[in-house]
Amino acid sequence: MTIDLQLILQVFLAVLGFYFLAFWASLVVWTYRDVGARTQDIFVQALAVAMVLFFNVPGLFLYYILRPRETLAEAFDRSLEEETLLRDLEERDDCPVCQHPIRADYQLCPNCHTSLRNVCGECGRLLELHWERCPFCGTEVPREHVVAVTVEPGIEGEVALEAKAREAVTEEAMTEEAVTEDVVAPR
């Protein structure tokens, strides 16, 4: 029972060769999947796979150096986050009179005390000044509390809308002051 050293060496080299072949093929497949997740450019994908295919591990190191920093999914998530932040900045409400920042649930401006919203007499929820009916309970808003809103195109339309809102709020405040004076002032 002699051990054939040459046969054992051949088997060992064959197994080692198959291992390196499988390792090389897995590097090529991994590179293909990774570069596909990082770019849609076919030329860049082919170049990255070719580097690993022809240069093996050194090609993989070159790919690591040259590959895009973030995946397409990460770039998409980042762009969604940026859009959300920009939308939050754009949606910030300001008082139409004094431009002081206000929250959506304010009834009056804390700075200039301008009436920003009406209160429904039935359900108590806040209503926009131009609403004729409460969308929550269906109650009709008294005509003296409704502000007529006409939107004209362009910046002039926004200025006209703010001016009309200011006029309506001023008239409403004057009416409330007159009623208060009548009640408070002795006759």
Q: Are residues 29 and 76 in the same domain?
A: yes
Q: Are residues 68 and 106 in the same domain?
A: no
Q: Are residues 104 and 168 in the same domain?
A: yes
Among candidate residues 37, 52, 81, the one where a domain is terminated: 81
Among candidate residues 61, 81, 101, the one where a domain is terminated: 81
Q: Are residues 109 and 172 in the same domain?
A: yes
Residue 182 scores a pLDDT above 50: no
Cβ neighbours for 17, distance < 8 A, ≥ 6 positions apart: none
Chain segment 76-96, per-residue pLDDT in tens: 999 999 998 888 766 667 787
Q: Are residues 39 and 103 in the same domain?
A: no
Q: Which residues of 21-33 are buried (b: 16+ CB within 10 A; e: fewer)?
A: eeebeebbeebbe
Chain segment 131-157, per-residue pLDDT in tens: 888 888 888 877 665 554 444 444 444
CA atoms within 13 Å, Cβ hemisphere of 184: 6
Domain that holds residue 137: 92-184
Q: Are residues 114 and 137 in the same domain?
A: yes
Specify the pTM. 0.46
Q: Are residues 99 and 138 in the same domain?
A: yes
Round to whole Å and give the CA distance between 84 and 90. Answer: 10
Q: Are residues 77 and 106 in the same domain?
A: no
Task: State the total domains in the chain.
Answer: 2
Cβ neighbours for 101, distance < 8 A, ≥ 6 positions apart: 92, 93, 94, 95
Q: Are residues 96 and 120 in the same domain?
A: yes
Alpha carbon 90 to chain centroid, angstroms: 11
